[in-house]
Amino acid sequence: MCATCGCDQPGSAVFTKVGEPHFKPLAQFENAHHQHPHDPTDRQKRKIELERDVLNKNNLAAKHNRFHFDQAGMIALNLVSSPGSGKTTLLEATLSATKGQFHSYVIEGDQQTTRDADRIAATGCEVVQINTGKGCHLDADMVHRALHQLNPQPNSVVFIENVGNLVCPAMFDLGEKKRVAIISVTEGDDKPLKYPDMFESSQLCIINKIDLLPYVNFNVALAKQYARMANPDIEFIELSATTGKGLNRWYKWLDELVPGTRQNQVAGVFADEV
């Protein structure tokens, strides 16, 4: 995938063969794979240094973004998940329910197409789509450039929908106030166990598509337990972005983050449950 976050580093991958009988290799092959030196070559070292530089550069750009967000009283949220967990659906519901109650802007990240940006624009919200091409994550500089196009007004909320990927976006700080990891019940309850970096770096975990719980094998308590192993402080909200169940908890969470902007005005949008 990308050469910047290290996911293409052969040295960083660990291969474990499970369930295979152990056997001793024939003596003549025993050292066959030890022909090359163990030290990384100069080329590899340069690549690792370059990647470290890229992350340092990203951290500086994220700091710059955060400074401007803070100065303007803006709240930036970085929505991360695997593809199809429901990021855009949740944003559509949120933007429609909160319309006129606080100013929102959206930055959309996808490899290709403006499909998500078109969906967001249909709600009446201003949106910029970033197509990352071969890239598998947004970085802080992309967000910075998108912000210059959006020019959001002070005291607004900027939702950033990251590229669907539970791995690489974890490494790239965008300058956001909070990172929101979304998993859906169709993905399996072991995702936080298998992709811990994302949950370790997120403050909120939304468990989406709970309307499908009767039909899938997903143990909510176990998923939470796995996420807490990565991050004991992580919060959870269970919801269905399509039926609206649980959305009030998400709106309350937003309210607490954005004091003074909504002031309970949205209470009643989904008055059937809190």
Binding site for ligand GTP (CB under 6 A): 81, 83-89, 110, 116, 164, 208-209, 211-212, 240-242
Work out whether 88 is an interface residue with Mg ion (CB under 5 A). yes
By beta carbon distance, the residue nearest ligand GTP is 164
Structure tokens of 124? 């009446």
**Considering the complex, what minimum distance in angstroms separates the CB of residue 19 from ligand GTP?**
32
Nearest alpha-carbon partner for 146 in 133, 135, 165, 132 = 132
Strand 75-81 to strand 126-131: parallel, antiparallel, or no bridges (unpaired)? unpaired
Work out whether 137 is an interface residue with Mg ion (CB under 5 A). no
Q: Give the containing element (helix H, strand E) for 149.
A: helix 140-150
Residue 136, SS3? coil
Residue at 7: amino acid letter: C
Nearest alpha-carbon partner for 75 in 104, 96, 32, 46 = 104
Smaller CB separation from ligand GTP, 61 or 91: 91
Q: Which does 11 bind (CB under 5 to 8 A by kind): ligand GTP, Mg ion, none?
A: none
Smaller CB separation from Mg ion, 6 or 164: 164
Smaller CB separation from ligand GTP, 81 or 201: 81
Smaller CB separation from ligand GTP, 48 or 167: 167
DSSP letters, 26-44, are PGGGTTGGGSS-SSPPHHH
Q: Which of the ranges 63-71, 113-121, 174-182, 233-241 carries the binding residues for Mg ion, by CB under 5 A?
A: 113-121
Note the residues at the interface with Mg ion (CB under 5 A).
87-88, 116
